[in-house]
Amino acid sequence: MAMTLDDFKKTFPVRIELPVQWGEMDAFNHVNNVTYFRYFESARIAYFEACGLFGRKEASGIGPILASTECKYRRPVNYPDKLWVGARIGELQRFGFVQHYGIFSQNQQALTTEGHGRIVLLDYNTNAKVEPDAELLARIAELEGQ
């Protein structure tokens, strides 16, 4: 069954809206594959802001770093279009979490792209991995509606 916009909004608690830019198109007349990672990055940053990770980095030196990422292209996206790009936490891990991404095309009224990234918490002063604390876990649970 196809995902509707309502389904998308229920699945991804943090969402941003982005217009497709003409310059993001490639010679095959669709958004270039590398651009999707920028879309994911924008949603990832919005999620980090929503759960207070950036403020923590400024205060303690502990912040997120992207350890790995992947993208699954389901449908091509073209200019002009507006996209909903969503982020959610799919799995908590010892030193971070796996974040899932989705892109929903307003023109196509369909989920066009899915991906995920493994986020590690890092003490930027020592370059050591750090376990998420209770406050961060509570903020994530609140965002995720748990």
Number of folded domains that form the chain: 1
What DSSP character marks residue 2?
P
Which pLDDT does position 88 carry in this prediction? 98
Which pLDDT does position 126 carry in this prediction? 96
Peptide bond into 80 cis (omega under 30): yes
For each of the chain's 146 residues, which pLDDT tens digit applies? 689 999 999 999 999 999 999 999 999 999 999 999 999 999 999 999 999 888 888 888 999 999 999 999 999 999 999 999 999 999 999 999 999 999 999 999 999 999 999 999 999 999 999 999 999 999 999 999 97
Q: What's 91's domain CATH number?
A: 3.10.129.10
The position carrying tokens 């958004």 is 31
Which pLDDT does position 108 carry in this prediction? 98
Residue 110 one-letter amino acid:
A
Structural domain harbouring 99: 5-143
pTM: 0.95
